[in-house]
Structure 1
Amino acid sequence: MELNHIVFIVMDSCRHDSFVAARTPNIDRLGVAEKRYSYASWTAPSHHAFVMGLMPHRSPKDVFASEVYKDEYVQWKARTGCDTIEFKAFLPDLSLPKVLRNLGYRTVAKVSMPVLNKNTLISRDFDDYKLMKSHNDFAKMIDEMEFPDEPHYYFLNLGETHYPYMLDGSKLPRISGVHGALKAMDETEVATSASQGFDAGQMEMLRQQQIKCVEYVDGQIGRLMDLTPPNTHFIVTADHGELFGEEGYFGHGPIMHEKCFEVPFVEGRVGGQR
């Protein structure tokens, strides 16, 4: 049985309509992206769902949640090429990396966000887990990837689509916890709140910049596709969305707004094979 390589790409903070507005000829080779919904509105809890093997959901009606979860786990048969995977294989750990390791995969994670550092539980069942030195290091991630005969599972968290969207932050709103995540949590002098107001023009500039970052990421994905063997299954999605001033909100986190949960989702092989 030949197992597929798997490349799971998470564009951090990429809201669905930013993705739709971008030109993505390489991602389009996988198929048409759906609008789905994240299980959480910020990075860490959303990634815990990914490590459990869950994808962003479709918010289906008239169905028990347990049936949705079981169906999601069954999808890993097609993704891996292993017809023997059953829901019970994920129990009791609910750990996708562990299930894949038991199938013979080498599991590798490369992440951009400090809240996903190696000391978190998210890293537990990966063979290799690395927090990249730079916030915008997708190109370096690709340089470090290889695809030998041993099946590989690559989990990539990309910072390019996260604030400040590959921009110099010196003239941007300073948000406690956003610049360097945990590093700025105690620096109250740089905190910005909605009560201070948002510049609508600047928010639109940031939205347009996120769209440009999606296009940059797509270009890098094209380079990665050129390096991968035919039996490589790609998953491209986001962990949550983003707010650009709508109803006084900016960013993501403890926000109950649909734009924090709407994300793109597409998977398949190059050429659209599903």
Structure 2
Amino acid sequence: MSPPNVVWITLDSVRSDHVTPGGATRNTTPKLQQIVDSPEGYYHDHCISHGRWSLPSITSILTGTYPSYHQTGFDNNVLVSEVPTASELFSDVGYTTACLSRNPHLSSETNLDRGFDRFKYVQASTLLQNAGLKTTAKFLANIRTHSAGFELNKYAHSTPYIINDIAKRWVQDFTQSNNPFFFYLHYNETHTPYYPPLPYLDAFDEEFHMEPREAARRVLEICDNKDEHMANGFSEFSDEDWRILSAMYDSEIKYTDKMIGDLIEYVMKKSNRKTIFIVTADHGELFGEYGVFGHTLVLHDGLVHVPLVTHGLDVEQDLVQHVDILRTLAEKAGVDTESMQGLDLRTESRDFAVAQTSAANLDPYLKFNSEFNSEHYIQDAQSDVVRTKSHKLRTGKDQEWLFELPDEETDILESNQNIAYELREKRDGWYQQHGSVSERSDDTYSEEMMQRLEDLGYH
């Protein structure tokens, strides 16, 4: 049997309970639901990301290794040369490899472009250069349909139309060859700030009272000052503010769902061999849980429980992690998986998942409020969670909490020491198997990269 094509689509900042197959209260992802309902589709109910933010999570996706091993986003700003990438490994067995990225963490600055035959990081400042004159002209002609119209604020504009146009050209090229392809795409529109294209501004406006464009501009203002709002415990937020944040976030998801559905349909029509599709998220988003707006500080399920839709993978397991999906794909493609740490889900299953994060940096919030409430955050050490389908043990240095999911407010540690003991045993054995690489990197980001990250709210 010839090896399959692989199309892996990662959405930024999408939590599982905000997509239709994950039980969202709004119909945000009808296209994803169609894929799930198709004969080869499946929704994995408990996909646990490897971290709470993009860099460690994307690195795990693209290497098949855990953050404690690759250390990217922990001790290192970039992926070290000792850790092979999926693009290199798939190339070794004859795949054409390609990546389209809208996230600066997935760029040459982090070495995550390594091994791709084609790679583009699409950013506003180099749009014409990266997208080309034809795509740029088409986007401008459709700017009221697929973006914010003639809006001067660059953060109001959307780029999935551009990503899709480039992607379709590349797919057309791929299908002219006899080689299978591994195509990784990262859509960033569901990241803050949330400003959906004009036709989607009123997608869920029945739940708030502002005029939709006014609501979107208010969301831009909130996102621009989110550190200060968090520091002050959202004391200036109204119920309407929370409603419009949630509505605009879901509207962004709905638009992105349409665009990825469009791309998947195109690939299905053009593909000259079996194609496996993966649609997931690098992490989720919090809307006030543990005093957080965004994706920082904690490993709450709103950040680590992410959607995962597969089509053609032929695996129906619920508790999975991204390293498992990559390992399973690699095994199907005849790729060398010696460097990968995930499970082959065709023959193995997991009974717990692990997510990790570095120490919480409170400086951005303390500068606005020296009495910032830090009770939920682990400041002095790396922290992790061990999660099963029913329970979650959160640990860092001398702090520990146990929760019976989905409740992450009631600590049941004292009355359930037997469950905590079992999860500690799982965690300790896991760490013995997944140490760190020997190499450390002293690479630092360029000033341009630092500015791009600051614009996205990273510190």
Q: What is aligned with 2:108?
A: 118
Contact 1:98 1:126 (8 Å CA) reproduced? yes
RMSD, matched Cα = 3.0
5+ residue gaps, structure 2, are 67-81, 125-156, 197-212, 316-459
Contact 1:18 1:207 (8 Å CA) reproduced? no
Contact 2:85 2:114 (8 Å CA) reproduced? no
Q: What is aligned with 2:228?
A: 192
Q: Which has the larger radius of gyration?
A: 2
* 1:263 is the counterpart of 2:292: no
Deviation at 1:249, TM superposition (A): 1.1
AA aligned opposite 1:32: Y
In the TM superposition, 1:42-53 aligns within 5 A as: 42-53=53-64
Q: What is aligned with 1:5?
A: 5
AA aligned opposite 1:220: M
Q: What is aligned with 1:208?
A: 247
Q: Distance in 1 between matches of 2:281 and 2:58?
A: 10
Q: 1:109 aligns with which of 99, 104, 111?
A: 99
AA aligned opposite 1:49: S
5+ residue gaps, structure 1, are 56-91, 180-188
Contact 1:18 1:210 (8 Å CA) reproduced? no
Q: What is aligned with 1:244?
A: 287
AA aligned opposite 2:255: Y
In the TM superposition, 1:98-247 aligns within 5 A as: 98-134=88-124, 136-145=158-167, 146=171, 147-148=174-175, 149=177, 150-167=179-196, 170-172=217-219, 191-196=227-232, 197=234, 198-228=237-267, 229=271, 231-247=274-290
> CA offsets per residue over residues 18-55 of structure 1, 9 Å max, x none?
11322323443432342311100001111010111369
Deviation at 1:4, TM superposition (A): 1.5
AA aligned opposite 2:185: L
AA aligned opposite 1:214: I
Q: Distance in 2 between matches of 1:173 and 1:217?
A: 18
Q: Relative to structure 2, which stretch is displaced further, 37-46 or 251-260?
A: 251-260
Q: What is aligned with 1:24?
A: 30
* 1:37 is the counterpart of 2:66: no
Deviation at 1:172, TM superposition (A): 2.7
TM-score normalised per structure 1: 0.73
Closer, same or farther: CA 258–171 of 1 in aligned 2, 3 Å: same
Larger relative contact order, structure 1 or 2 (CA cutoff 8 Å, min sep 6): 1
Q: Distance in 1 between matches of 2:221 and 2:51?
A: 23
Q: Distance in 2 between matches of 1:156 and 1:195?
A: 34
> CA offsets per residue over residues 82-115 of structure 1, 9 Å max, x none?
xxxxxxxxxx634211110001111111111223
Contact 2:53 2:295 (8 Å CA) reproduced? yes
Identity across aligned pairs (percent)?
Answer: 28
Q: Counterpart of 2:30 in 1: which secondary structure?
A: coil
How many residues matched?
A: 229
